[in-house]
Structure 1
Amino acid sequence: MITLITGATSGIGEQLAKLYAQAGDTVIACGRNQEKLNELAQLTNIESCQFDATDLQAIRSSTVAYTQFDRVILNAGNCEYIDDAHNFDSALFTRVVTTNLLSMGYCLEALLPRIKSGGQLVIVSSSVTYLPLPRSEAYGASKAGVSYLAKSLAIDLADIDVTLVHPGFVKTPLTQKNDFPMPMAVTAEKAANYIIKGVAKRRKEVHFPYRFTLILKCLRMLPLPIWLMLAKGLSR
């Protein structure tokens, strides 16, 4: 099996690369950090592939040697918060949407034609899409777009199984900067195991940790005015 993973130099992506390689897959670990990619390439069954996921030509040129994939996992992303909505930071918004959403389009154009019939496409979004949350205008909007994209692809790609991943809080270098509590946060290794198990079963959606994501799914059934009142309380 040949598995390509974007965002493989840290967090969930790094753990996915290591676990799939340990299971015997040939893993193409993709990311921008060449030093980290070199470290991963020292491990058995991992090949490194350096590119910026927001650069279509770089994706194409860096992956040209690979003609076919059994599985592509689009995991690369970033998170920044809008701290003052009254003074909306459009540059921040553009950065987050470009990194999290537009990069998906570039990766899909470059890689999707090479996923073999019967293969798998895994798209990592976020459980932030279940509910609007404080300061999440940029991150939440980008991930909502990612989730919609994956659901649409699941309809149109008749010969490829699409799995949409909605993680809760995961302890990674990215989330270390969060200045708020992260209830029921799991390690990156545990998150990767959740994803691998769900992908193996070809589930349409993988969400975890289940207790946390089920609470969010229940809360989203509240009338919007009630949730907005509760959410405003969280932001104080």
Structure 2
Amino acid sequence: MFDFLALITNKKYWLLHSLIMKFILRLYGIQVGSDFYMEGIPLLKIRGKGSNIVIGNNVSILGGIDLRNRENGKIVFKDNVTIEGNCRFVSAREGTIAVGEGSIVTSFAIINGGADLIIGRQCIIGPRTSLNANEHVFKRDTPVREAGFVHEPIYIEDDCWLAANVTVMKGVTLAKGSIVGAGAVVTKDTEPYSVNVGIPAKKVSERK
């Protein structure tokens, strides 16, 4: 229905829609800045404080989005961030998920906190990327679903590009300017301006 309205109004409907979504988000206590734009409907599972979700100025959300927090988990989209459709953000415990200024998170990305998960400025997070600042405990005598988690932060520094279907494991830092090729699994820190591919990801070259 919303897509149809957008189609027949040459996308002008989304401007009204964005105002309505901004009002609704604020009803949940979510902080929303100026020039907010949204296509689609948010799925909200706010089990912590709504005020721990902060959307900066000139943020565009280009489709449905899944926002979840619990305990004291925080989610922050800084100014000029773009989030494409069907992305999921889950922040828990004392962790903060932050997307830096001018960065884009593309379709179907899954970003799971529990510890800090910080994305720098002007980054590209490719489609179906999985960033996990946590990992299931797996003990033989306990079902995995009941064994709990271990948590370590992920830091993605400025000007990084993660191509499609990348997985970044807990405890990893992607140094400034790093590129990670499609389908890679990153299990250890990268070097500045390095190009990394494979499972596990290894440096194959540098940006020129």
Under TM normalisation by the shorter chain, which class is it? under 0.3
Q: Judging by fraction of residues, say which structure has more helix.
A: 1
User: TM-score under structure 2 normalisation?
Assistant: 0.27
Q: Which has the higher contact order (CA 8 A, sep 6+)?
A: 1
Q: Judging by fraction of residues, say which structure has more strand.
A: 2
